[in-house]
């Protein structure tokens, strides 16, 4: 099926290898006048977990009719800050986070999907 043939109620997460790592993007939010989400520079082994994260964040953006203010909680101890980058929203660490972003990216996958630990 052609990626451009997304129905109005469907949001997909698509990915591609780039020189700096895996890039994941949503497709379908823009049809509703909303910004798409993008995560770039991911290690490939985090791809499946981050695809699920983008899908959950896309559902929150769609339900709110746009980027929710402040941090977006996906679990009691897992929050994301959505930052505008051009036409996209980029999920990153919550407000007040200090540390390495790459380590945070791994940690949120393990917190949300404990089976990813093994």
What CA–CA distance (Å, rounded) separates 23 from 30?
A: 18
Q: Are 61 and 67 in contact (CB under 8 A)?
A: yes
What CA–CA distance (Å, rounded) separates 96 from 99?
A: 10
Per-residue model confidence (pLDDT) at position 118: 59
Per-residue model confidence (pLDDT) at position 9: 76
- Check: pTM over 0.85? Answer yes or no: yes
Token couple for 44 = 């490939």
Instruction: Report the candidate in 11, 5, 33 with the shortest Cα–Cα distance to residue 24.
Output: 11
| Residue labelled with tokens 């929203």 | 89
> How confident is the chain (118 residues) per 10-residue block, as mean pLDDT?
55 96 97 96 96 97 94 95 96 94 95 82
Per-residue model confidence (pLDDT) at position 8: 58
The residues, any chain, with a CB within 8 Å of residue 52's CB and separated by 6 or more, are 112, 113
Find the DSSP H helices in the chain.
47-64, 101-112
């Amino acid at each position: 099926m052609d990626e451009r043939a997304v129905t109005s109620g469907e949001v997909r997460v698509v990915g591609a290898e780039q020189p700096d790592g895996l890039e994941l993007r949503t497709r379908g939010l823009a049809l509703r006048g909303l910004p798409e989400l993008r995560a770039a520079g991911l290690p490939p082994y985090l791809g499946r977990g981050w695809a699920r994260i983008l899908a959950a964040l896309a559902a929150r953006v769609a339900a709110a009719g746009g980027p929710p203010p402040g941090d977006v909680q996906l679990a009691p101890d897992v929050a994301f800050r959505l930052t505008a980058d051009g036409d996209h929203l980029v999920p990153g660490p919550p407000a007040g986070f200090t540390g390495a972003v790459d380590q945070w990216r791994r940690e949120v996958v393990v917190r949300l999907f404990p089976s990813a630990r093994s």
